[in-house]
């Protein structure tokens, strides 16, 4: 544990690590206070594309956690940045929430439901057969299919819900086209995070609740990995993968010296 506590920078997932929906997880307040007291560099890096950094900052504030907006980076921002580098000033058809749409607008994209360069799918609750049907037509006409993240599910206070990879699957199956996913474990997302932190990989740890995104992202980026069991993974989950995290903890509070949730 001392190796983790000595790290200069921390990349921290949010859903299942910091909160479930609108429920703050145990030990989070103590962990964030410890990060501040120890002058650690930290970045909340979420595969969710629903909210902007400002909205995430405000959500944590409502839950009793005060951090600046610059501590947040989302798959929506990473997706917009990648697409802008590929097709500057392009157009998109979006199935997603305001955090994704606004990130694409900010990157210079216009909304287009006739002949877009890309069909972009993110986490959303405004999902319908009509949108899937329209997306299928656009992809078959030549639009490239993009997913903000490869998560199949996500944790909420009500339990597990479908995430982007599950939502985009009908479009892939109907068109025979494979989506390109931007969020973790894509190395693009991890490079963005390290640049924002201004730390090297060996000075950094990634904390997440998913073996298939957070932990593999850390392993492939040579960043020390911490799996917390407060989200979608259990110790039995770990056994199903051919790789292991460096540490397995009940929650982020366990990183704080002297913390007890008893």
Tell me how far apart the alpha carbons of residues 211 and 226 are, in angstroms, rounded to a whole number: 10
Indicate the length of the chain as a whole number. 262
Tell me how far apart the alpha carbons of residues 122 and 147 are, in angstroms, rounded to a whole number: 6
What DSSP string describes 51-63? S-HHHHHHHHHHT
Sheet hosting strand 224-228, strand order edge to edge: 72-74, 41-46, 9-12, 204-208, 224-228, 247-249
For residues 213 and 151, the answer to whether their CB atoms sit within 8 Å is: yes
HSE (side-chain half, CA atoms, 13 Å) at 221: 30
For residues 148 and 183, the answer to whether their CB atoms sit within 8 Å is: yes
Residue 35: partners with Cβ closer than 8 Å, 6 or more residues away: 10, 42
- Residues with active-site annotation: 13, 15
The string over 137-163, giving b where at least 16 C-beta atoms fall within 10 Å of a residue's C-beta and e elsewhere, is: ebbeeebbbbbbbbbbebbeeeeeeeb
């Amino acid at each position: 544990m001392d190796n983790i506590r000595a790290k200069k920078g921390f990349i921290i997932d949010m859903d299942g690590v910091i909160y479930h929906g609108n429920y703050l997880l145990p030990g989070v307040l103590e962990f964030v206070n410890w990060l501040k007291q120890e002058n650690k560099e930290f970045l909340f890096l979420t595969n969710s594309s629903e909210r902007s950094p400002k909205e995430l900052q405000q959500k944590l504030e409502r839950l009793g956690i005060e951090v600046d907006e610059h501590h947040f980076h989302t798959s929506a921002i990473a997706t917009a940045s990648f697409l802008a580098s590929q097709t500057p000033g392009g157009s998109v058809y979006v199935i997603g929430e305001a955090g994704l749409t606004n990130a694409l607008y900010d990157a210079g994209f216009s909304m287009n439901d006739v002949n877009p360069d890309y069909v972009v799918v993110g986490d959303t609750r405004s999902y319908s057969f009509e949108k899937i049907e329209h997306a299928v037509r656009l992809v078959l006409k030549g639009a490239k299919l993009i997913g903000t993240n490869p998560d199949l599910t996500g944790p909420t206070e009500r339990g597990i819900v479908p995430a982007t990879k599950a939502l985009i699957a009908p479009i892939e199956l109907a068109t025979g086209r494979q989506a390109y996913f931007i969020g973790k474990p894509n190395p693009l997302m991890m490079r963005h995070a390290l640049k924002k932190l201004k730390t090297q990989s060996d000075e950094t740890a990634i904390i997440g609740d998913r073996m298939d995104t957070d932990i593999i992202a850390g392993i492939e980026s040579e960043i020390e990995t911490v799996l917390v069991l407060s989200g979608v993974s259990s110790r039995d989950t770990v056994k199903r993968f051919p790789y292991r995290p460096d540490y397995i903890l009940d929650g982020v509070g366990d990183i704080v010296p002297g913390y007890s949730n008893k």
